[in-house]
Amino acid sequence: MGDSGQGTGTTPESKRKDVRRNQQTLLDAAAAVFLTSGVDAPVRDIAAEAGVGTGTIYRHFPTRADLVIAVYRHQVEACAEAGPALLAAGPTPHAALGRWLDLFVDFLVTKHGLAAALQNDTSGFEALHAHFLDRLLPVCTQLLDAAVAGGEISDDLDAYQLMRGIGNLCIGADSDPRYDARPLVALLVAGLRRPH
């Protein structure tokens, strides 16, 4: 609600041809730049890559965070949809949760600077944080609840704290060869089981 039908919303279906073309050009350019320079790449770089003025970016995506959201929307969606599937497939809810978090970590770790941007309270990335939460928190909650219901883990930790912690652990996992988030995540997930 309140979404006027463009930018971060569902496909705009605009009247003008150049608008639709630029929307896609922009997404492709942003994806390419994010891949090489990270999510924190300057807006001007993305505009240059797309062969477009900076104003055009802001007409399509009200803020840089909205552009990031749009670029990764499909992968976030895929991650969200994997949750129930894993729950149905896995031997136990805890195993499913572990596998789902692996997906999440893989996603974050392979996108340069995304994990850091997610928790960045400065410079208007709150929308990014909010979008990830809106889409993924319910999935995490479902997995966690199932594990709790099955008695595999206790309910000490809520889904928000878990996701936030996992996300935090992924910060800098790119760009620092000495650091690998995965063992720590594994430790955390393992520790979730049978507390005490």
Residue type at 159 in one-letter notation: A
Angle at which helices 181-192 and 159-169 cross, to 10°? 160
Contact flag: residue 191 with DNA (CB under 7 A)? no
- Are 39 and 71 in contact by the 8 Å Cβ rule? The answer is no
In the bound state with a second copy, the residue whose beta carbon lies nearer, of 31 and 186, is: 186
Contacts with a second copy, residue ranges (CB under 8 A): 40, 116, 119-122, 156-157, 160-161, 164-165, 168-172, 175-176, 178-181, 183-184, 187-188, 190-192, 195
Find where tokens 């803020």 sit. Answer: 63
Q: Given candidates 3, 16, 121, 178, which one binds DNA under the rule CB under 7 A?
A: 16
Q: Looking at beta carbons only, is 82 or 157 nearer to a second copy?
A: 157
DSSP string covering 120-186, please?
--STT-HHHHHHHHHHHHHHHHHHHHHHHHTTSB-SSS-HHHHHHHHHHHTTTSSS-TT--HHHHHH
Q: What is the nearest approach in angstroms of DNA to the Cβ of residue 92?
A: 43
Site string for DNA, 26-65 (x = CB under 7 A): --------------xxxxx------xxxxxx-xxx-xxxx
Query: Which residues lie near DNA (CB under 7 A)?
Result: 14-19, 22, 40-44, 51-56, 58-60, 62-65, 123-124
